Amino acid sequence: METFNILIPTDFSDVSYLALEMANVLGKKLALQIHLVHVIQVNDSDSDYLEGLNNAGLEKNRSTALSKMEVLKSQGYQFDSYVRIGKLTEQINLAATELNADIVLMGTNGSDGFMEFISGSEAQHVARQVQIPVLTIRPGTPMLELKNILLVADFELFGKGVQIGTIKKLANAFDSTIHLLQILTIEEEKSSDQVKAQMNFFAEEHQLEKYEIHLYRDHKVAEGVRNFNREAEMDLVCIRTNGRRGINQLLFGSIAERLVNHCIKPLLTFQLKQKYA
């Protein structure tokens, strides 16, 4: 069984532990390698940062973090422990690269609590810089086996080189149906037949075995996603982080913050990426 490499940032709050609970769900079908990372946040200009771990305060924080990780291990969680020093977003990115992670998995209160840096002012930086998918879990989110995976996109903009390997890996492991969704706004001029043809082309290009296509009409993209999700029994929502039209606004504007902060299902964001040679 192929190993699925997961990076979990934590500040040891209850909400950050949601990621470990979701990892348990993924571990039912996948062989996992989990890396739990705590970032001691300091600025580049901070003298403590320049002095490194020789500083007594930083060493104490580091020891405390490692002790808390040992407590989690004693409760049955299995992971590799890492404590890093620096800026949160930067260190998450560096750790993801160095550890060759397949996905960043994190619990969040949306714009509150631990991941306010991610869901608030730092959200765009993470989405643009992280080269791997980011899966967020909110309190109260149902964590079920991923039988139905929703992929939201403007499929006209998906070319032949788009990489959705992580989504396919999850779908294959859980024998999931991938539901392709495109929101048609009032301003949408394309015929539904043309849109369906684009979606079928995408499914064939990426060799999707179990999939359904859905067109949903709504005034705005974000509202359409939320309304469809209320009506459908999806276990995971996936949205790419770049595009020229609605999807671009969906991830990088005020619409994005509303959707990410209030999505009632696990939410996976990923970058448009060319296939590896």
Q: What superfamily in CATH does domain 148-270 come from? A: HUPs (3.40.50.620)
What residues does CATH 3.40.50.620 cover in the chain? 3-137, 148-270
Question: Looking at residue 252, what is its pLDDT?
Answer: 44
Least confident of 29-33, 38-42, 226-230, 269-273: 269-273
- Each residue of 186-232: pLDDT tens digit? 666 567 788 889 899 889 888 898 999 999 888 777 778 878 888 88
Pairing of strands 267-270, 134-137: antiparallel
Which CATH entry fits the domain spanning 3-137: 1.10.520.10, 3.50.50.60, 3.40.50.620, 3.40.1210.10? 3.40.50.620
Average pLDDT over residues 60-86: 95
Residue of higher predicted confidence among 185 and 31: 31
The model's confidence at residue 115, banded by pLDDT at 50, 70 and 90, is: very low
Structure tokens at 35: 């890396």
- The structure's pTM equals 0.83
The model's confidence at residue 6, banded by pLDDT at 50, 70 and 90, is: very high
Tell me 209's DSSP state: S
Q: How deeply is 274 buried, as exposed, middle or buried, from its count of CB atoms within 10 A (0-12, 13-18, 19+)?
A: exposed
The DSSP secondary structure of 70-118, one letter per residue, reads HHHHHTT---EEEEEEE-HHHHHHHHHHHTT-SEEEEE--SSSSTTHHH
